[in-house]
Chain A
Amino acid sequence: MDFLTLFIVIPIITMIGIVLVRDTKQVKIVSAVGMTLQLINSAILIIMFLLQRSAGNIAEILFIKDVVWYPSLNIHYFVGVDGVSVAMLGLTSIVIFAGIFASWEVKDLTKEFFISLILLSTGVYGFFISLDLFTMFLFYEVAVIPMYLLIGIWGSGPRHYSAMKLTLMLMGGSAFILVGLLGLYFNSNPTGGPLTFDLIHISKIHIPLNIQLFFFPFLFLGFGVLGALYPFHTWSPDGHASAPTAVSMLHAGVLMKLGGYGCYRVAVFLLPDAAHQLGWIFLILTTISVIYGAFGAIWQKDLKYINAYSSVSHCGLVLFAILMFNKTAMNGAIIQMISHGIMTALFFALIGMIYGRTHTRLINEMGGLMKVMPFLAVAYVIGGLASLGLPGFSGFVAEMTIFFGAFQHPDVFHRVVTIIACSSIVVTAVYILRVVGILLMGKIRNDHFLEIRDAKWHEKLSVGVLIFGITAIGLAPLWLSDMINNGLTPIITRLLAAVQ
């Protein structure tokens, strides 16, 4: 078996293990072992990848495995990674690892919970390693559908409504994607050879402009739904607010990145001419996402809603940077995906832990939590500072790179949207500091809070891993951006060729 397939096999074996064991304690241990292996696996992958690169291997895609699946339709099981997908795999492993420990206290139907959670992560891993559009789409849907059960069974609040809304909107997005993929497939060989879903092959050919213009909106909107593109972001606040802790973490941290990654890897990469022509429409929409999300967060009283809207804003920034079509901004987009993924997972983990103790998520019912749970409170402050882009944390690196890249466009339109998007940083500072002030500082409003205990060992582990992630990227960003840069070269070359 090849190395990358392990990323799908390990979760599957873990799920089988969970089915076989008896009590809930064993279920948790099996899940934790499985996901730890997965984390180690990602670390090995990153090291091996960097070693290959430093040894001078400049191939576009490494660790390729290609097996024919449906010979007549030319569908392959075709996997491989470049710098970008390696980074995304690492992100997924960190978040799912933290997610397992954050959901240590799930009581109802524990077995089913962990199976659904790991099934979801299987879809995500498969999506990031796939280079065949068919298997990519397959894994995409595998990642989306367990959300329905996860939110519907273990969620809180209007969970049935939120689960249905989220599932239907995301599957609606995949309807757009499906049409786009079929369009790519049937135009993948203009000279009349065998058709293919092979992403690398399609990226080497030139599809006529009118066809590109027809299919680009399908693909970009389709993936954009998952990337919380305005006006298709409405599933995100409801879904995140109702989801159980680990699911919010995984969903905001990783699943929304599938949207950004898909826009980048499929829509923009394969249809560059159309991206250039139609990019301005989506640039306006993403700018609205960025600003709207930030202002939306200010108004909210529920911690989860605040973070959900801030995710809309931050993920909007990812699509915004991708649509700038230059290397610096794209690099920023990928770092932003990683940074936001870890950061938002940290937030949702902390919110879950706080809610588990205070039994409320409304900020004006809380106060002075710093005194009773210092560990969680400090972690929350760290997350908040990273979110508003304080140097030393990952958020700063990402946003700096994005705006630096975006401002390189000399024309008025790009500069105006960049300035508008930039202003979201200020708004972010407002809602983060406001929450920190009300939630953690001041007097303790409720006597019941005095009996609260600080974090347990599994919570500390979960939070610690995530904080390590944001600070590591913030303090030493260069190895990450170098790794990503290499992977960006093909798409940038293709975009430049499209302009001329």
Chain B
Amino acid sequence: MLVMRHELLLVIITVILLLVEIFLPKDQKHKIILPAILLFTIVTILGFLPGITGELFGGMYVSTALTMTMKNILNIGTLIVFIQSVSWLKKEENKEKISEFYLLLLSTLIGMDYMISSGDFMMFYLGLELATIPIATLAAFERYREKSAEAGVKLIFTSALSSGILLYGISMIYGTTGSVYFTDVKAAFEATPLQILAFIFFFAGMAFKIAIVPFHLWIADVYEGAPINVTSYLSVISKGAAVFILMIILYTVFAKIAIIWRDVLYVTSIITMTVGNLFAIRQRNIKRFLAFSSIAQAGFILLGLIGQSQLGMTTVIYFVLIYIFSNLAAFGVAGIIANVTGKETIDDYDGFYRTNPLLSLTMMLALFSLAGIPPVAGFFGKFFLFAAAAQKGFYILVFIAVLNTIISLYYYLLVIKAMFLNTSDQPIGYFRSDNYTRIGLLLCVAGILVIGFASPVYEFILNLSYGLY
């Protein structure tokens, strides 16, 4: 059973937290915060112990060194989300629901872990649903706000729709190959038109989850409506997990139609980054802004998948790791500002550096990392992603992608401009953020500054990755 270590540990702490929640008196609910974070920290650390690889349930569940690393990456990200959300959870209106937040978040994480480790389409689908439905609840967490409720409903509808499309594709695959196991499907795959259609349905379903254009329309409203900590979780961890499993399935199950899905990705990646970038320019609300920027980032991630090589897989995982730190740092700063002052538009940030220099610098590092400016980690992530696409000779695609990073730099600079260059008659005054937020941001900044220079991280991921050829 130790093969399922990550999932089991998560289930154990979920149960512990549930029991604690039952026995806590109503006015003491906030006492669960520290134990929850500590327990999850232990789980995260335990995840890094050398694990046992193998299969369970006749191949439904597969654990490899690669999937374990992916789960560890997700654990780190979730830990930061845990720490960052404390100041929001401690607010008066959320006080009674603190443990619900943790329980729901942990269930989605369990779902993602099962999804990544799946060895057949059933397990994959189960994990996906477990990862999606609690998030809809989380999006509607601030039920006294209309927009939050709207976000929850929108999320549940779109995921139901996308799941339907996905299942349709899977059923076609089952119908033509007679199996749902990845290995069997791979062997029986003949690239008939029906199977290619099945792939298209499958890909469209996944594209909803990752928010690839043209399946991105739900994302802005949901991101804006959901509480900011849920949004950050949604944009980083959810997206990362979906990218991981999409990559695994593309590289194994659909290996025979690699040329076809490469062309599909080629086109969608160009559209995704361009549309994401162009829409991001217009946004004034920081959450919507980061939503569209995360669409553009998804477009960049596809570049690594197009590489189809060991380098490609490595760079995707590496990029997601860096993206987690960068985006969480940006959301962390936006979140603390929103919590303390209630301000969420970029214009409110005018003159922010002069009152809160450290938070502004964190935001700057995060945005530079997202834009791919050296010497922060994002530069390395982007450079290697581009290298993965260039390796196969897609120089034009790389060129379009690099031009897109320039567009993205423009709107990231708009935020930096507001914070550093603009002055305001009524800037946001100085405030002291609480220690949890500080620890969370410190972890992000450390990640942003260190990962790029520490080449062992990259080499470690490389050794686990594999290519199509």
Chain A contacts to B: CB under 8 angstroms: 69-73, 75, 134, 138-139, 141-142, 145, 148-149, 152-153, 159-160, 163-164, 167-168, 171-172, 175-176, 178-179, 182-183, 185-186, 214, 218
Contacts and interface: CB of A to CB of B under 8 A. Distances in A.
Given A72-B462, A175-B402, A183 B413 contact: no
Interface stretch (B59-67, B199-207, B223-231, B373-381): B373-381
A148 B390 contact: no
Interface in B441-469: 455, 458-459, 462
A138 B413 contact: no
B457 to A, nearest CB: 10
A175 B368 contact: no
B233 to A, nearest CB: 30
B459 A182 contact: no
B405 to A, nearest CB: 7
Given A142-B375, A148-B413, 12 more contacts: A70-B458, A72-B458, A141-B373, A153-B421, A163-B421, A167-B413, A172-B403, A172-B406, A185-B390, A186-B391, A186-B393, A214-B395
6 contacts: A163-B421, A168-B406, A168-B409, A168-B410, A182-B390, A182-B398
Given A69-B455, A145-B373, A167-B409, A179 B421 contact: no
A71 B455 contact: yes
Given A141-B379, A145-B368, A186-B390, A179 B395 contact: yes
Nearest to A178: B402
B370 to A, nearest CB: 14
B95 to A, nearest CB: 39
B409 A142 contact: no
Q: Contact residue range for chain B?
A: 20 to 34
B420 A152 contact: yes
B383 interface: yes
B431 interface: no
B386 interface: yes
Q: Binding site of B, secondary structure by majority: helix, strand, loop or mixed?
A: helix
- In this complex, which of A134, A163, A178 has the most chain B Cβ atoms within 10 angstroms of its Cβ? A178
Interface string B263-278: 0000000000000000
A352 B383 CA distance: 39
Nearest to B402: A175
Nearest to B458: A70
A171 B417 contact: no
Given A70-B458, A160-B421, A182-B387, A138 B406 contact: no
B416 interface: yes
A179 B398 CA distance: 7
Nearest to B409: A171
Contacts of A167: 409, 413
Given A141-B373, A183-B390, A175 B459 contact: no
B430 interface: no
B157 interface: no
A185 B399 CA distance: 15
A179 B399 contact: yes
Interface in B353-410: 368, 373-375, 379, 383-384, 386-387, 390-391, 393, 395, 398-399, 402-403, 405-406, 409-410
What 3 A-B pairs have minimum CB-CB distances, sorted nearest first? A175-B402, A182-B390, A152-B421
A321 to B, nearest CB: 29
A172 B403 CA distance: 7
Contacts of B416: 148-149
B384 to A, nearest CB: 8
B379 A164 contact: no
B407 to A, nearest CB: 9
A385 B91 CA distance: 70
Contact of B455 (A70, A142, A175, A178): A70
A495 B78 CA distance: 56
A425 B467 CA distance: 59
Contact of A141 (B374, B398, B413): B374
Nearest to A69: B455
Contact of A183 (B374, B383, B395, B409): B395
Contacts of B391: 186
A52 B416 CA distance: 47
A172 B387 CA distance: 18
A178 B386 contact: yes
Contact of B413 (A164, A179, A186, A214): A164
Nearest to A145: B373
B201 to A, nearest CB: 34
Nearest to A68: B455
Nearest to A175: B402
Contacts of A149: 416, 420-421
A175 B399 contact: yes
A138 B390 CA distance: 18
A456 B373 CA distance: 39
A283 B346 CA distance: 45
A160 B422 CA distance: 9
A69 B454 CA distance: 9
A225 to B, nearest CB: 12
Nearest to A183: B395
Contacts of A160: 417, 421
Contacts of B393: 186
A164 B410 contact: yes
Contacts of B373: 141, 145
A138 B459 contact: no
